[in-house]
Amino acid sequence: METTRFETFFDAIIAIIITVLVLKIPQPTTPTIGAILQLNTVFIAYSISFLTLYNLWYANHNLFQVIDTIDNSVVWRYGVMTFIISLLPYFTLWLAYDIHSVPAETMFGLIFILTHIFNRLAMQAIYKSNPYNKQLIELDFNSNIQSIPLCVLIIGFILTYTVYTPGIYICCLIAVLLWVFFDRIIRRGNNGN
């Protein structure tokens, strides 16, 4: 399958999920700064989810610049990942209303872990379907440094279930920031900047 149609489809899904995500943010009770500040957990949860979606879009945009075709295993893995990220608005709002809820923390963290795993599986399938693509090999999307955010998420689960309930929430933020940071490092290294 050519990547152009698939990339357009994936881009549209990300845009729709981001739109739903922002529409889920409740309005402040009054038009004051204090009322907006009361929604701080909602805005932080939204920011974590937005950064994740944006980073997925950006990484895939860069990836599809160097490949022309994908096979069915890539499409199916992206399909599962798309299903998982489509649940993000629901679980973001659930967590935002009560960051001290262990079930909300757990589901929010699971969405991020599953997204990370299926993104990595999709990358492996792309490498497998394009074994002779020199540009793809140079990008090195399979770098082990990209496993660090997953480790941070697992630490968040340990924190939530032992000493600090919002541990997953905090570690999701750290993991997303690390994911963005490591992507920039990998891209700069490959561009020679």
Report the distance separating Cα 152 and Cα 175, nearest Å. 6
Quote the tokens at residue 73: 């295993």
Average pLDDT over residues 158-170: 95
What pLDDT is stored for residue 21 in this prediction?
Answer: 94
What pLDDT is stored for residue 193 in this prediction?
Answer: 47
What pLDDT is stored for residue 2 in this prediction?
Answer: 79
What pLDDT is stored for residue 153 in this prediction?
Answer: 95
pLDDT tens, position by position, 74-128: 999 999 999 999 999 999 999 998 999 999 999 999 999 999 999 989 988 988 8
What pLDDT is stored for residue 135 in this prediction?
Answer: 80
- Is residue 144 predicted with pLDDT exceeding 90? no
What pLDDT is stored for residue 190 in this prediction?
Answer: 65
Counted domains in the chain: 1
Q: What single string gives the DSSP state of each residue in 136-175?
A: HHHH-TT-GGGGHHHHHHHHHHHHHHHT-TTHHHHHHHHH
pLDDT tens, position by position, 34-79: 988 888 889 999 999 999 999 999 888 888 888 888 999 999 999 9
Whole domain around residue 158: which residue ranges? 3-191
pTM metric for this prediction:
0.88
What pLDDT is stored for residue 157 in this prediction?
Answer: 97
